[in-house]
Structure 1
Amino acid sequence: MDEAVPDLVERDRLGADGIGALLAACGGGSGGKGSGSASGGAWAFTDDRKKKVSLGHTPQRIVAFTGTAAALHDFGADTRIVGVFGPAKLPNGKPDPQAGGLDVDKVTVIGNAYNQFNVEKYASLSPDLLITHMYEPGALWFVPDDRKDKIAQLAPSVALTASRTPLVKIIERYAELAGALGADLTAKRVTDAKARFEKASAELRAAAKANPVKVLDCSGSADLFYASNPGINADLMYDTSLGVDLIVPDHLDKGGYFESLSGENADKYRADVLLLDNRTATLQPKDLASKPSWAQLPAVKAGQITPWSSEPRFSYAGATPLIEQLTEAIRGAKKVR
């Protein structure tokens, strides 16, 4: 198994390595409140570590994890983002899907993958704030443990939870942060995105009720097949709340994000629909085709496989297409178990 893959897939193991064991418009999340204005004056925000960051002015030079920056972009709070770290560009130079609508050519990429965080390049940007996800308490996503102290000396950080909390609450926290950074949460693009999100959610609920097929969220690597836990992943928690019948693995790995299965046991959970992790470091259907246990899965035989963004973008605009995609998959699926 390629060592680059578990760094992205096995969140529970990553906590020990220092990046974590692998949110109406604002104010609804747990953790804190933001203040300040785009025109100047003191600024403060309490993140999901219950840590209050106070500055003499609204942050002007922000460096953020790519997915975090993309979510802030969706709320209109990306004008002060000067750098990103994490998957930003594909090998062909095009934006990584995690970048969403963020123009990655207008920011400095200080590390395009885990453990590529370039501290010297980060320092050269004169950052006044770092923002990232937090999958495990206190662990800054994609901030390498062996450099975290040096990174912390350069600018304060804000971390918002990305798991164990319902999707809507996380989106609300990102909206709150965006508002504190000066975004207009009443802007038409924001309110339209929220309305579309609510419509999509209602349609998913109706589809799940009309066609109660069984769904497995999963991820593939060279040697292991991962069955994801809908009780800990924010988007899966939300899907479950809308009535989607998601399979719950019965022997979860440490950390609780998934159950890792050997290639020979990939057919342990037999679902009608597979939601397959589509991140660049994971295997896709064409890569898995030669594995006998994969080929024997009923959903694979029926061609009922749908891409799954296992690291969703925490904004209404980012989450809605995923909900719509799942709705379409459920509506068109047949029970094949």
Structure 2
Amino acid sequence: MPNARLSSPTRRGILAAGGALGLGVALAACGNDDGSKDSGSDSTTSAKKSGPWSFKDDRGTTVKLDKIPANIVAFTGVGAALFDYGIQVKGVFGPTTTKGGKADVQAGDMDVSKLTVIGNEWGTFNIEKYAGLAPDVLITTMFDDAGTLWYVPEESKDKIAKLAPSVGISVFDRQLTQPLERMYALAESLGADLKAAEVVAAKKRFEDAAARLRKAAKARPEIKVLAGSASADIFYVSGSNLSIDLEYFKALGVNFIEPPASALKASGGWFENLSWENVDKYKADIIMMDDRAQALQPADIDKPTWKKLPAVKAGQVIPRSPEPILSYDKCAPLLENLAKAIETAKKVS
């Protein structure tokens, strides 16, 4: 995940943010049809369609419409977060289905068979399909402080912008609670019932999980945690700055292994590249591994140096979501899982 200007290397670096197999993949031509299913449903929101509607996003841009948006197109993870608040988007772009056709981890609880997918991979965004949805608004995240809209291809962003206004939620260099609060407010503006029992319960669960993680980290400060990601040739070690989840976990007291600034520099501050021969450079008790589809998953890592790591031998490897679905329902388990890992970990480093 990138620095502010998103030059070509750092755009790929975003995907690597702890790792990705998208390194070196050229941005596909805009308008590529990814073969996704169109949705025949009129799915859009459970909100009352009254207006006017306005929302000030994290670029400082205020979008104003005559009524609450009916045709929402969003980055997949944003659509998944809104879904947890009872708001259903009409179309998505970003990782939605895996090669086997199953829902990507970033799709959350959405029924992907009922979504119009504008682009399933980095650089793909079918403008014709997007226009056909008659979008009222496009909503996505931002991984820099320059207002770059995540998964909206740079070379076609101007064409896309002409079809509907956009809303950007920042997930750059802040703690998880901030974008969570912003998505919560956005969902409310779109008509979500934040007093619904499941929404209230999810928020309470998140707060309880944060307290549990803080307690676990305080009780076991000696437990060292490494945030990693894998590709066939490279193991990525994330620094705890810039990423919303790691910044928050660190603020709660989690003891992260931190690559030196000099090692992080090439990625704009996000991560250090290690060869598999050097994967034992840092001694960790717990390893958190990137759960996104573009990353090599722990069960598929067939590297002798990996298998020899003390945390791996001890079974102390847990998933990490570098792009959390920004609902309390989806973020509470992230805290609970890390808290449990710290509570039960053997000191092996």
Which TM-score applies when normalising by structure 2?
Answer: 0.85
The residue number in structure 2 matching 1:324 is 336
Specify the SS of the correspondent of 1:151: helix
User: Which residue, 174, 193, 196 being the options, matches 1:187?
Assistant: 196
Asked whether the 8 Å contact 1:19–1:144 carries over to 2, the reply is no
* Percent of aligned pairs sharing the same letter: 50
Gaps of 5+ in 2: 15-46
Q: Which amino acid aligns with 2:244?
A: A
* Bigger mean CA offset, 203-212 vs 313-322: 203-212
Alpha-carbon shift at residue 188 of structure 1 (Å): 1.0
What's the counterpart of residue 183 of structure 2? 174
Q: Does the 8 A contact of 1:19 with 1:141 survive in 2?
A: no
Q: Give the Å deviation of 1:92.
A: 2.4
In structure 1, distance between residues paired with 2:184 and 2:12: 23
Residue 38 of structure 1 and its aligned partner are, at CA, apart by: 3.4
For residues 40-70 of structure 1, what are the alpha-carbon distances to aligned partners after superposition, in whole Å with 9 as ceiling and x for unaligned?
Answer: 2221111101111111211110100000011
Letter in 2 for 1:53: V
List gaps (5 residues or longer) in structure 1: 1-9, 23-36
Corresponding position: 1:285 with 2:305: no
**Structure 2 residue 287 is matched with structure 1 residue 274:** yes
Task: Give the structure 2 partner of residue 98 of structure 1.
Answer: 106
State the shift of 1:85 in Å: 0.5
Q: Counterparts of 1:267 and 1:288 in 2: how far apart (Å)?
A: 15
Show the counterpart of 2:83.
73
1:287-330 deviation per Cα after TM superposition (whole angstroms, max 9, x unaligned): 3232x432332212222111111111111001011111111211
Q: Kindly provide the CA deviation profile for residues 149-181 of structure 1, in whole angstroms up to 9, marking residues without a partner as x.
A: 111111110000012111111100001111111
Aligned residues between the structures:
311
For residue 103 of structure 1, report the CA deviation from its aligned partner: 1.9
1:16: how far off? 1.9
Q: Is the 8 A contact 1:215 1:244 kept in 2?
A: yes
Alpha-carbon shift at residue 11 of structure 1 (Å):
3.9
**Preserved contact between residue 176 and residue 247 of structure 2 (Cα < 8 Å):** yes
TM-align CA RMSD? 1.9
> For 1:235-289, what per-residue CA distance to the aligned partner results, in whole angstroms no more than 9, with x for missing partners?
1111112111111111213321111222222221111100011111111223323
| Contact kept in structure 1, 2:2 and 2:269, CA below 8 Å | no
- 2:225 and 2:285 in contact (8 A); partners too: yes
Of the candidates 221, 225, 228, which is equivalent to residue 235 of structure 2?
225
From 234, 245, 250, the equivalent of 1:240 is 250
- TM (normalized to structure 1)? 0.87
1:4-19 paired onto structure 2 within 5 Å: 11-12=2-3, 15-17=6-8
Counterpart residue number, 1:4 = none
Amino acid at match of 1:304: Q
- SS of residue paired to 2:7: helix
Q: Which residue of 2 aligns with 1:136?
A: 144
Between 120-129 and 104-113, report the one with greater CA deviation. Answer: 104-113
With over 3 angstroms needed to count, the CA separation of the structure-2 counterparts of 1:20 and 1:297, relative to structure 1, is: closer
Q: 1:259 to 1:112 in 2, by over 3 A?
A: same
Q: Using the alignment, how far apart are the partners of 2:335 and 2:108 within structure 1?
A: 16
What is residue 87 of structure 1 aligned with on the other side?
A: 95
| Cα gap change, 1:146 to 1:311, in 2 (>3 Å) | same
Determine the structure 2 residue equivalent to 1:299. Answer: 311
CA distance in 1, matches of 2:49, 2:301: 53
Three-state SS of the structure 1 residue aligned to 2:124 is coil
Q: Deviations over 1:63-120 (max 9, x none)?
A: 0000001111112222xx1100111112222211111112222220111111121111
Contact 2:76–2:94 (CA under 8 A) maintained in structure 1:
yes
Q: Does 1:261 align with 2:261?
A: no
Pick from 197, 200, 208: which aligns with 2:209? 200
Query: Is the CA contact (8 Å cut-off) linking 1:20 and 1:134 kept in structure 2?
Result: no
Distance 2:159 2:276 in 1: 40
